[in-house]
Amino acid sequence: MTAAALPPLDEILGAAVVVSLPMRVRFRGITARELVLVRGPAGWGEFGPFPEYADEEAAHWLRSALESAWLGPPAPRRDTVPVNATVPAVGPGDVPQILARFPGARTAKVKVAERGQDLAQDVARVRAVRELVPNVRIDANGGWSVDEAVVALGELVADGPLEYAEQPCASVPELVEVRRRMPDVPIAADESIRRAEDPLRVVRAGGADVAVVKVAPLGGMRRLLALADKLAGHGVPVVVSSALDSAVGMGAGLAAAAALPALPYACGLGTGGFFTADVAAPRTMADGKLPVGQVTPDPALLDTVRADPERARWWFDRVRRCRAALD
């Protein structure tokens, strides 16, 4: 969507709704997910950059929302998408009830390197997941140094292989070094791609075997597909993931995954179960897969999760600034 094709601000805000979705567990340090839903001629879009993101970065999320609402999804190649279970930094005793929210899922992504926790807790969590799911990947969110990552990955593969380790360290040089020192553990880049001016830099540097990509931070479904095509030229497959999206944003992620020429890995698009309330009825997961299709928010559900007026003003001001940044 070019700048010239962007809708004017009054059209964006005219039917916009700010919502606050309560969460079952703390995730990224929050217990409620706030975001803006916008409605256009092609359907609904979602704008929900996290509060710490500056306007220049958050503007990509607005571009994504406008693409969904004014252009709609790209042509699909499949009508279902395999998804992974997502296990937050909980104790091993809580793992079975979390995995039960992902019926049929054969892959689980396990959060590790949580502040205030130690490696023994990570190992115990991963071990509990291995007992129930055959394919395990971990996500450290850049929380380790190189030496810490090497030690942790060595401990975590003692009981079995990892499908990949996502963002074990924060910087590209660190990812390159971990990949060199741990050649048997595939490395996936997330933040190093979606929060970088040059998303291919980590791949060119030799720091990633897999790329984790998200629709909103990249500026939309079509931009994700274009990046996936470039990454394929470097032999790097993509995993489409969510940014803690509502049912509307998840629909955009599923649409992007459905349009990819190849989908070798389960996608991280099953996080809707972390909300105790959403803006539409949940998709039914079957055999570890979710159906593809656009979402129309349920008016009754919207009323129950509508944010208070002060928060709505805060988000509308943010939309104004990001719309100006897109110009």
Active site amino acids: 111, 214
Handedness of CA 18, 21, 26, 27 (dihedral sign): negative
Integer Cα distance of 121 and 303 in angstroms: 40
Do β-strands 187-189 and 165-166 pair in parallel, antiparallel, or remain unpaired? parallel
174 marked among binding-site residues = no
Is residue 166 a known part of a binding site? yes
133, two tokens: 């799911």
Q: Is 317 annotated as ligand-binding?
A: no
Angle at 88 between CA 158 and CA 64, to 5 degrees: 120
Of 112, 117, 120, nearest in space to 169 by CA: 112
Q: Please, are residues 241 and 212 in contact by the beta-carbon 8 Å criterion?
A: yes
What are the tokens at 269? 């698009």
Q: 316-321: long-range contacts at Cβ-Cβ below 8 A with a sequence spacing of 24 or more?
A: 316/13, 316/16, 316/18, 316/36, 318/49, 318/55, 318/58, 319/9, 319/12, 319/13, 319/16, 319/36, 319/47, 319/62, 320/9, 320/13, 321/55
Cβ–Cβ under 8 Å, residues 293 and 81? no
* Contact (CB, 8 A) for 31 and 23: yes
| Residue numbering of the annotated binding site for Mg(2+) | 139, 166, 190
